[in-house]
Structure formats: structure tokens, C-alpha cells
Structure 1
Amino acid sequence: MFFDMELGLGAYMEARVEGEKARAERMAAAVSEFDQMARESVQAVSNAIDHLNEKAASLQANSQESASISTQVSGYAETTAHNVQASAAATEELISSIHDIGGQATHSADIARKARQDAERTNKSVQGLADAAHKIGSIIEIINDIAGQTNLLALNATIEAARAGEAGKGFAVVASEVKNLASQTARATEEISAQISTVQEATDRSATDIMEISKVIAGLAEIAESIADAVGKQGEATQDISHHMQSAAVSTSEVAQNIAKVLERAHEGGKSSTEMVSATREARHQTQAMQDRIGEFLAHFNAA
């Protein structure tokens, strides 16, 4: 009976040992599986953190580069805006100068037109003087003819008085006086004719010169009108340029403001990326600490 109890107790103990062994094996398998899973999970998290750290570092570098470029572009934009504003101001001054020149050109054109009109009137006056001189010359010719005929009549009267003898002496004296007056008239008309010829030549030359001057003045008037027209068109073109320059100045100023905002965002992005790098490093540190603790736990469990 005791033998049977001993056999039963031995079988029970053996069965219990086998059960404990199987339980231990299952636990060891579970721990091993947990260890593998924990290692894989920690490694995956570590890899993800490393990848995130690389991206954060790249983002930080890009943010710094963007901030540097934005700073340079902001400087260029400010310089460009200043230059455009200066150009716009210079264009306004140019417009003012062009308006002044245009006014002067218009005034010159008016003066040239008036000078041409005055020259034309003077030319007409000189032509009238030349015509009058020619008419006077014709009258002098008539007077010369009359003086010649008077001289001829006086000569005939002298001849007739000589034939009349004593009776014709008084008539001869009168005929002699008439002849002298006719001779003086002839000489005077010759002198007048010479002076009239001189006047005619002078008036002809003056008329020719005035015609040439009138042509020159007409050419100057056309040039002045062309200049005034060109200056007017240039003024309109410059006005358009000024309008575009002012628009460009406004646009460039807006670009500079937008670039300043981009620069501010770049600095904020750089700050955020720096914080991200710090966070990933801390996560990496915490992951490593967790991995160490899991290792310590498993080592302690296996030792137990």
C-alpha cells in the first residue's frame, strides 16, 4: 500500500515537474518572442527616429540656406526698390524738363512763324518799292523825252530868232533860257535816273535776300514745329514710362515686403527644424534607454 502511494507520489511529482518544465519552456518562448518583438520594435522606432533626424537636419540646413538666400534677395529687392524709386523721381524731373523744352520749342515755333510772316510782309513791301522805282524810272524816261523835245524846240526857236534879226532878240533870250532849263532838267533826270537805278538794284538784291531769308525762316519754323511735335510725343512717352516706373516701384516694394515675410517664415522654419532635431535626439536617447531597460529586464528574468 505504501509502495503504491510512493509510486503515485512519484508520478505526481514527475508530472508536476514536466508541467513546470513545459510552463517554463512556454514562458521562455514567450519571453524570447517578446524580446524579438521588442528589439524589432525598438529598432524600427530607432530607424524611424534616425530617418526623421536626417530629414530634420536636412530641413534645418535648407531653412538656413533659404534664410541666407532670402536675406540676400531681400537686400537686392530693397536696392532695386530704391533704384526704381530714384529712377521714377529722375523720370519726373525729365518730364518737367521736357515740358519746359516743349514750351520753349513751341514758343520758338511761334516766333519763327511770326518772323516768316514779317519777312513775307517785308518782301511784299520791298517788291512794292521795286515796282515804284521801276515806275519812277519810266517817269524819268518820259521827263527825259520831254526835256529832249524842249531842248529841240529851244534850238529851233533860237534858229528862228536869229532869222528874225533885231525883232527876234528877246525871243532868242527866252529860247536860250528854255534851252538852259531843258539841259539842267536833262542832267537832273540823268542823275535821278542813276540814283533810281541804284535803288532798283538795291531793292532787287534786298528782295532776293529777303526771299532767301524767308525760305530759311520757313525751314526753321518747320524744324521748330517738328521739334515741338517730337518733344510733345517724347513727353507722352516719358509720361507712360513714369507711370510704369511708379507701378514698378510699388510692385518692387510689395516684393520686398513679401520677401521679408518669407525671410521671417524661413527663420521660424529654421527654429522649428532646430527644435525638431533636438526632439529627435531626445527621442533617440529615450529609445536607447528603453532598449537598455528591456535588456536589463530580460537579463534579470533569465537569471531568475
Structure 2
Amino acid sequence: MFGRSVKNTTISDRPWKNNSVRLDCKEESVVRKLQLLNISEETLKIMREQKQLFEENVDRIVKSFYDKIYAIQHLKNIIDKHSTIERLMLTQKRYLLSLTDGVIDQNYVENRRIIGKVHDRIRLQPEWFFGAYQVMYRSIFPLLVKKYENYPDLAEVLLAFTNLTTFDIQLVEETYIESYTSKMLQMDEIHKIEQELTATGHTMVANAEETSSSVQEMANVSIGIAEASSLATDHAKKVQEVAQQGAETVYLTQEKMNDIVNKMTELQNKAQEIHAGSEKIGEIISLIHGIAKQTNILALNASIESARAGEHGRGFAVVANEVKNLAGRTQKALEDITNLILLSQQSVQAMLEVVASTNETVLLGNQQMQKLQEELKEMVTGIDSNLQQISTINQQVEQFTAMSEELASASQEVAELAGNLNDLSESLAKKIQDTEHNRVEPIQWTANLEVGVPEIDRQHKELVDRLNRFIIAFNNGEEKEEVGNLLKFLENYIIEHFQDEEALQRKYNYPDYDQHKKIHDQFIKTVQNYREQFDKEGVNTGFVIKMQKTLMDWLLNHISKVDSLVGHYIRDVRGK
């Protein structure tokens, strides 16, 4: 506790009751925030010195805070919907006491970020959050002023408290904006997915119906194939029976033909034997014919001799005449036999020729019968193979029919699932529509946003007014039409406001002018990029959300923090 007799000393000159503080943050963005607000271990020491004061008054501060908060209907509705006043009072008490722990580490940062996510979830807009801090300041500032009213350290104590709570506000609202923007971008993606789901659902229904129809046609075709296959099987079996009977008949006929060939060969041999015998008979007849001629000559000679003998030779002449007659008749009979033998030989020769020709024909027929038998055997074998293939086809057709029935059932299930998908996509679309139409409250211009320089505050109010027009358009679903107007305003705003603000900084020799101008230049590039993207691609939900985040971030982090430092400096210079 400060000694009251040491009136002109400073904080750094006096020891603290508890000097145990810790500032341990490695995250680059957090470190920048701490540096911008001049938060150091000295700041934590100052706040730790207030621990007893906060502990003694925290219950009264929290009660006064929630009496005012709960009297506002909008905030009351949020509290009643998402929590209870008792729970929130306990949470607020823990928060206020944590400001005097003297510790800022990653756990401290993450706890503030959780608050930002909760604010996004319960739809607590930033202006209400800023206003709540103003309510809290009105309870705490009087306590600090009363404690240090006679000390020159009052300004440092108030600045330490204000800087630390401003750091908390930055963490909370930065997380709120990121969470809100991420959710809006997800809504845009979900909206696209919903459209794709709807289109896919319709396509699936159409495909399922077409598939079902095709499956039915396939089933009908498979039934036709099965019937045709059954008829083909019956026909093939009949052909097989006929072919087998034909093969047996050909085999028997071939055996008969072989018998005929053998008989004809035997007949030919017999005919040749007859022909040879007739030739021998002809030779014998020729010999007898010669003997008859000789006998006839001898009878002629005997007649001549008997004539010469006269009476004595008359009897011999009679015998010679009878011998001559007998020889004549024999010769005549031999000639008739010879003619018959010649005729018989001619007939036998003709028969041999017929037999030879018939034999050749029979042999040719036998060869053809053998070829026909082989072909019939091949036909029977082919029919057996066809029957096996037809049997295989029948099995495959049965399987195909079963698969067609399963596919038809599956197609019906797909159609039902597609219908369910359409229902889900419609439900999703409705939920998206309900979510998209959650209203965003316009930004209320509060003292927290004022920098205390009228010409700067006036231009800042113009930006807030234009941003509110955009928020109203967003609530009415007309934000895409308002984007072009907002971009035109920003281009003019950049030229006029930045020039005026930078002129004031130069006029009063603001020490951080160069860094401030760099921030302005970077924002100019950001707006130019939005303009180029707008001119090239037009506007979509993602574009709108990104631009809204940029403007909210500029409002919360630049105007209320960076520009406020400029305002303090200009007011101090003008006051002198």
C-alpha cells in the first residue's frame, strides 16, 4: 500500500507489498498488442497492488454491474436464454479478481478468447460488450480515484487498469470477429454443399428410376433368354438324338456296303473263273473241231478208196459215209457250241465290266459313308458341347436374374435414400436460411469510440453510419447490392479522412506518425484489393463476410485503440 506522506514520489521509487508478477506471452500478435498498450511487468505490479481493494468491493461492484445490465431487456433476454444471473455474477467476480493476479500468460489469453467465442455463440454484439465495460468503469474508477486522490500515481493506476481491460477487450472481440466470420464462411460453404446435395439428390432419384427401369428391362430380357435357352436345349437334345440315330444308321449301312463289296468281289472272281473255263472249253472244242475235220477228210478218203474197190468196198463206203455224216454233224454241233461259248464269254465280260463299275461305285459310297459317319460323330460331339454351353448359360442366366432382382431392390433403396437426401437438403436449406436471417445489431456510437478530436470523430461517425447501413442491408438480405456503394464510400473515405488525419498528425508533430501512415497505406491496399476482386468476380457471400470482418476489425482495433492514442496526444498538445 502506498504511504500517504510520500506525496511526490512515483511508483518506480517505492517497493510493493508483493512483487511476484509474471508476463509470459510468446504469441507474436499478443506481444504486439501488449507493446501497443504499454503493458509490462510494471503494469501487472500496479494491478496486483489493487488486490485487497478489489476483494473488499468485488461483491458490490458485481451487484451494481448486473443491476444495470439486467435492466436492459435485450441483455436480460440473452442472460435468461443462455445462463442465470447468479452464475454470471460468480463468473464476473472471478474475472475482476483475476485482473489483480499479476499474471498474463497463454492461459490468461485463452480464457479471454473463450469469452469471445461464447459471445459469438449467444449473439452478444460488440457494442453491448463495450457498453458493459463502461458500466464497470463507473463502479471501479471512483474506488481507484478515492484511494489515490492525493497521490501523483493516480493517472498511472487508472492507465494500468484501462490498458489491461482494453487488452482484454481486444482479445475478446478479435476472437468474436474471427469466430463470427468463420461461421459465416462455413454457412456459405454449407449453402454451396446444400445446393450440391439438392442437385445430387435429384440426380440420384432420376438415376435410380432409370436404373430401376433398366433393371426391369434386364430382368425381362433375362427371362426371355432363359426361355429361349430352354427351347434351344430341347431342340439341341432332339437334334442330338437324330444325329445319334443317323450315325447308327450310317454305321449299319456301311456294314451292308462292306458286305456288298465283298459279294461283288466274290462274284467278280467267279465270273473270271467262268470266263477262264469257257476259254478252256473253246480250246477243247477247237481241238475237237480239228479232229472232226480230220475225220471228215478220212471219211472222204475212205469213200474214194471204197469206190476204187468196187463191190468189195461198198460196205466200207457205207461206213465211211456214216462217219462223214457224223463228222459233219459233230462239226456243226461244235460250231453251235463255239457260238454259244463266244456269246457266254461276251456276257461274262460284260458282267465283269458291270461288276467292276459297281464295285468302284460301292467303294466310293463306302468312303462317303465313312466320311458321313465321321461328320455325324463330330456333330454329336458339337451338340454335346453346345448342350454344356447352354447349361452354363442357363446357370448364368439364373444368376443374372437373381442379381437383377437384387439390383432392382437396391435401386429402390437408392431411390428412397435419394428422397431422404432431398428431405435432408431441404431441412438443411431451411436451417441455413434461419441462421442467415439472424439479425446483427447496428453499431452504437459510444464514448469508447471517440478519440476526443472533433474533426476525426466526425469522420469516424461517417464510417460507422456507412457500416450500419451495410449491417441493415445484411439483415434484410440485400448486402450484395450494398457492397458497391460501400466500396465507393471507402475509396472517398480513404482519400479524405486519411489526408485530414495525417495532416493533423504532422501539424502537431505526432511522434508515431510514420507507423500510423504505414497502417493507413496497408488499409488502402486492402480496399483496393476488394475493389479489384469486386470488379473481376462480382460479389458472393464469402466476399461480403471477409469485407465485413475487415471493417469491424478496423473499427475495433484501429479507431478505438490506435486512433485513441492520436486523440490523447492531440488533446494534450492543444491543452498546453
Q: TM-score, normalised by structure 2?
A: 0.44
Give 1:285's aligned residue.
430
User: How many Å apart are 1:211 and its aligned residue?
Assistant: 0.7
Q: Is the 8 A contact 1:95 1:238 kept in 2?
A: yes
SS in 2 for 1:89: helix
Give the Cα–Cα distance (whole angstroms) in 1 for the partners of residues 435 and 315 of structure 2: 172
User: How many Å apart are 1:263 and its aligned residue?
Assistant: 1.3
> Please, which of 94, 114, 136 is the counterpart of residue 239 of structure 2?
94
Opposite residue 409 of structure 2, the aligned amino acid is E
User: How many Å apart are 1:290 and its aligned residue?
Assistant: 6.0
Give 2:375's aligned residue.
230
Confirm whether residue 123 of structure 1 aligns to residue 268 of structure 2: yes
Confirm whether residue 182 of structure 1 aligns to residue 318 of structure 2: no
Opposite residue 130 of structure 1, the aligned amino acid is H
Q: Please list, as runs of the form range in 1=range in 2, the aligned pairs for 1:75-94 lying within 5 A after superposition.
A: 75-94=220-239
User: How many Å apart are 1:223 and its aligned residue?
Assistant: 1.1
RMSD: 3.2
SS in 2 for 1:242: helix
Give the Cα–Cα distance (whole angstroms) in 1 for the partners of residues 127 and 323 of structure 2: 184
Give the Cα–Cα distance (whole angstroms) in 1 for the partners of residues 254 and 127 of structure 2: 121
Opposite residue 26 of structure 1, the aligned amino acid is F
Confirm whether residue 205 of structure 1 aligns to residue 350 of structure 2: yes
Give 1:150's aligned residue.
295
Higher helix share: 1
> Please, which of 26, 32, 43 is the counterpart of residue 130 of structure 2?
26
Q: 1:48 to 1:215 in 2, by over 3 A?
A: closer
Give 1:169's aligned residue.
314
Give the Cα–Cα distance (whole angstroms) in 1 for the partners of residues 131 and 273 of structure 2: 143
> Please, which of 38, 50, 54 is the counterpart of residue 199 of structure 2?
54
> Please, which of 237, 244, 255 is the counterpart of residue 110 of structure 1?
255
Opposite residue 107 of structure 1, the aligned amino acid is L
Give the Cα–Cα distance (whole angstroms) in 2 for the partners of residues 36 and 241 of structure 1: 73
Identity, in percent, stands at 19
Give the Cα–Cα distance (whole angstroms) in 2 for the partners of residues 209 and 41 of structure 1: 109
SS in 1 for 2:404: helix
Q: 1:129 to 1:71 in 2, by over 3 A?
A: same
My pick for the range that moved more, 120-129 or 234-243, is 234-243
Q: 1:157 to 1:60 in 2, by over 3 A?
A: same
Opposite residue 51 of structure 1, the aligned amino acid is E
Confirm whether residue 276 of structure 1 aligns to residue 438 of structure 2: no
Opposite residue 347 of structure 2, the aligned amino acid is A
User: How many Å apart are 1:51 and its aligned residue?
Assistant: 3.2
Confirm whether residue 71 of structure 1 aligns to residue 175 of structure 2: no
Give the Cα–Cα distance (whole angstroms) in 2 for the partners of residues 256 and 24 of structure 1: 70
My pick for the range that moved more, 112-121 or 154-163, is 154-163
Q: Is the 8 A contact 1:85 1:246 kept in 2?
A: no
Equivalences, count: 281
SS in 2 for 1:81: helix
Give the Cα–Cα distance (whole angstroms) in 1 for the partners of residues 195 and 217 of structure 2: 33
Give the Cα–Cα distance (whole angstroms) in 1 for the partners of residues 436 and 131 of structure 2: 21
Q: Is the 8 A contact 1:35 1:298 kept in 2?
A: no
Q: 1:79 to 1:141 in 2, by over 3 A?
A: same
Opposite residue 194 of structure 1, the aligned amino acid is N
User: How many Å apart are 1:207 and its aligned residue?
Assistant: 0.7
Give the Cα–Cα distance (whole angstroms) in 2 for the partners of residues 267 and 49 of structure 1: 23
Q: 1:247 to 1:38 in 2, by over 3 A?
A: closer
User: How many Å apart are 1:127 and its aligned residue?
Assistant: 0.9
Give the Cα–Cα distance (whole angstroms) in 2 for the partners of residues 168 and 139 of structure 1: 34
User: How many Å apart are 1:138 and its aligned residue?
Assistant: 1.0
1:161-189 CA-partner distances (Å, limit 9, x unpaired): 22222222222211211111111111011
User: How many Å apart are 1:141 and its aligned residue?
Assistant: 0.7
Q: TM-score, normalised by structure 1?
A: 0.80
1:224-270 CA-partner distances (Å, limit 9, x unpaired): 11111122122212221221122122112211221221111111111
Unaligned runs of at least 5 residues, structure 2: 1-63, 73-125, 133-171, 443-576
Give the Cα–Cα distance (whole angstroms) in 2 for the partners of residues 230 and 36 of structure 1: 87
SS in 2 for 1:92: helix
Q: Is the 8 A contact 1:157 1:175 kept in 2?
A: yes
Which is bigger in relative contact order (C-alpha 8 A, separation at least 6)? 1
User: How many Å apart are 1:83 and its aligned residue?
Assistant: 2.3
User: How many Å apart are 1:201 and its aligned residue?
Assistant: 1.0
Opposite residue 210 of structure 1, the aligned amino acid is V
1:201-232 CA-partner distances (Å, limit 9, x unpaired): 11111111211111111111111111111221
Give the Cα–Cα distance (whole angstroms) in 1 for the partners of residues 311 and 131 of structure 2: 197
Opposite residue 207 of structure 2, the aligned amino acid is N
Confirm whether residue 260 of structure 1 aligns to residue 405 of structure 2: yes
Give 2:554's aligned residue.
none
Q: 1:169 to 1:261 in 2, by over 3 A?
A: same
Give the Cα–Cα distance (whole angstroms) in 2 for the partners of residues 260 and 92 of structure 1: 31
User: How many Å apart are 1:130 and its aligned residue?
Assistant: 0.9
Q: 1:41 to 1:248 in 2, by over 3 A?
A: closer
Give the Cα–Cα distance (whole angstroms) in 2 for the partners of residues 134 and 266 of structure 1: 99
Give the Cα–Cα distance (whole angstroms) in 2 for the partners of residues 284 and 212 of structure 1: 101
User: How many Å apart are 1:48 and its aligned residue?
Assistant: 4.0
> Please, which of 278, 284, 303 is the counterpart of residue 139 of structure 1?
284
Give 1:11's aligned residue.
none
Q: 1:195 to 1:270 in 2, by over 3 A?
A: same
